[in-house]
């Protein structure tokens, strides 16, 4: 394939016909998003192939043009896969980069690919494809963590310890009971991911910039081609909707909070004052000054990075809270928040699973934390079974 009929590909742009002057260099850098959104390269090419097939069905490209476009997109995908794709200075975003390279490979025929499509519905489609795929990975990692907790709970069901309320010794519990208390919120988080995935799995492609598509594209067929479950119902909402992203940011924050509580408990239990557990060296670090120190930095970072997750959620929701209806460039900020939160929450889950799987228990210390006064509630229950009103039984047990 040849690109002999190219025109100024060094500054290839998806727009600019009505402009007489180029952007200021600072504006170009300020506007560019390729360093962030190039992570969508595969989804962008998959969406473009589906779009090429869709416009072929309505006669906007012929069979020969379709085959050359698809072959060219496959070549671009191979370059990304093998790490030889060359980004250029004027590649504004992943959509520009991919289309610029396609034009270099197959010539001006590539310019037909974008017929009836806007970057507005293109990027919304790319992000949904990416997130839907990566929610499967998130569910897998959550399942692994939950199963690690369940395995240890089953293995150490006979281990007793003090249960705490207000960080005061309250009642005797099994260590397994504590572990299962972490499973419950993680199960709820898993359900939130599943519920979110249904809302993510909706195809906005074919919505155009705002007013839809005039070429009678079969959007249901397009959605099926991309393995979406449904199509979006309003072209204005389709291009502007990012609630699925801030819902993901909330779910990530919820997972972080679930793990932060666990981390705080185990930081306390790992101290010399408690010594209920011993963390593996593989999940601890030391002090640069005090040679004897073994710090639970894995757990402290779980706790700390939860604040990062909340910050991403809060920041992006503030970004979208008052922008006018339909697409605005503010929405370009969605991907940095999305990708960073996805990476962060998965690292939290994996570290938590490793910590739980490798820690050791000091069963004697856990047993020593138990004392007779912790059975005061049981004494009150005993009196209740003998017919004493609970309020009176509570008072008598307290006096005892």
Whether 248 shows a pLDDT value over 60: the answer reads yes
Whether 10 shows a pLDDT value over 60: the answer reads no
Instruction: Collapse the DSSP code of 326 into the 3-class scheme (helix H, G, I; strand E, B; otherwise coil) and give the result.
Output: coil
Highest CATH level, class, for 9-115: mainly alpha
Per the prediction, the chain carries an average pLDDT of 93
Catalytic: which of 90, 166, 252, 260? 166
Taking only the tens place, the pLDDT of each residue in 296-313 is 999 999 999 999 999 999
pLDDT of residue 29: 73
pLDDT of residue 8: 43
Pairing of strands 277-278, 168-174: unpaired
Q: At what angle do helices 334-358 and 119-155 cross, to 10 degrees?
A: 10
Per-residue CA distances from 315 to 102, 135, 262, 307 (Å): 36, 22, 25, 12
Catalytic: which of 11, 280, 287, 371? 287
What does the DSSP 8-state code read for residue 5?
T
- Is 287 among the catalytic positions? yes
Whether 214 shows a pLDDT value over 60: the answer reads yes
pLDDT of residue 13: 64
Q: Which residues contact residue 226 at a Cβ distance below 8 angstroms, ignoring those fewer than 6 apart?
A: 46, 47, 50, 125, 129, 203, 205
pLDDT of residue 353: 98
Domain span(s) for CATH 1.20.200.10 in the chain:
120-215+233-369
More confident residue, 17 or 143: 143
pLDDT of residue 176: 98
207-219: average pLDDT: 94
pLDDT of residue 336: 96
pLDDT of residue 14: 63
Whether 181 shows a pLDDT value over 80: the answer reads yes
More confident residue, 51 or 4: 51
Domain span(s) for CATH 1.10.275.10 in the chain:
9-115
Detail the DSSP E strand segments found in 139-251.
160-165, 168-174, 202-203, 230-231
CA atoms within 13 A on the CB side of 358: 13
Whether 9 shows a pLDDT value over 50: the answer reads no
Asked if 388 and 181 touch (Cβ cutoff 8 Å), the reply is no
Whether 33 shows a pLDDT value over 90: the answer reads no
- Is 278 among the catalytic positions? no
Taking only the tens place, the pLDDT of each residue in 337-395 is 999 999 999 999 999 999 999 999 999 999 999 999 999 999 999 999 999 999 999 99
pLDDT of residue 232: 97
Among the ranges given (4-18, 27-41, 140-154, 199-213), the one the predictor scored with the smallest mean pLDDT:
4-18
CATH architecture of 120-215+233-369: Up-down Bundle (1.20)
pLDDT of residue 287: 85
């Amino acid at each position: 394939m040849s690109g002999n009929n190219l025109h100024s590909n060094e500054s290839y742009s998806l727009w600019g016909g009505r402009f007489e002057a180029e952007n200021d260099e600072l504006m170009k850098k300020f506007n560019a998003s390729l360093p962030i959104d190039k992570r969508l390269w595969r989804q962008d090419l998959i969406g473009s192939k589906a779009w090429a097939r869709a416009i072929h069905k309505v006669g906007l490209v012929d069979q020969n043009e379709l085959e050359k476009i698809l072959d060219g997109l496959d070549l671009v995908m191979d370059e990304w896969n093998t790490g030889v794709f060359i980004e250029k200075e004027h590649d504004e975003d992943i959509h520009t980069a991919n289309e610029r390279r396609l034009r270099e490979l197959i010539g001006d025929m590539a310019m037909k690919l974008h017929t009836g499509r806007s970057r507005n519905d293109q990027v919304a489609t790319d992000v949904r494809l990416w997130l839907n795929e990566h929610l499967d990975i998130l569910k897998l990692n959550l399942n692994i963590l939950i199963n690690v907790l369940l395995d240890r709970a089953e293995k150490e069901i006979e281990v007793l310890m003090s249960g705490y309320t207000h960080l005061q010794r309250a009642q005797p519990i099994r260590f397994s009971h504590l572990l299962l208390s972490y499973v419950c919120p993680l199960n709820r988080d898993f359900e939130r991911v599943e519920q979110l995935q249904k809302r993510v799995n909706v195809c906005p492609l074919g919505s155009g910039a705002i007013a839809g598509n005039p070429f009678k594209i079969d959007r249901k067929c397009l959605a099926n081609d991309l393995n979406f479950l449904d199509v979006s119902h309003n072209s204005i909402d389709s291009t502007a909707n990012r609630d699925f992203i801030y819902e993901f940011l909330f779910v990530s924050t919820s997972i972080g909070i679930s793990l932060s509580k666990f981390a705080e408990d185990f930081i306390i239990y790992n101290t010399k004052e408690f010594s209920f557990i011993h963390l593996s060296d593989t999940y601890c670090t030391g002090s640069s000054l005090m040679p004897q120190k073994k710090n639970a930095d894995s757990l402290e970072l779980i706790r700390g990075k939860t604040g990062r997750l909340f910050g991403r959620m809060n920041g992006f929701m503030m970004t979208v809270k008052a922008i006018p209806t339909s697409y605005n460039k503010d929405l370009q900020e969605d991907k940095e928040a999305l990708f960073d939160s996805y990476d962060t929450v998965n690292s939290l889950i994996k570290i938590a699973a490793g910590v739980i799987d490798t820690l050791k228990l000091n069963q004697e210390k856990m047993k020593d934390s138990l004392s007779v006064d912790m059975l005061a509630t049981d004494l009150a229950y005993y009196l209740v079974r003998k017919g004493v009103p609970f309020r009176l039984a509570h008072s008598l047990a307290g006096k005892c």
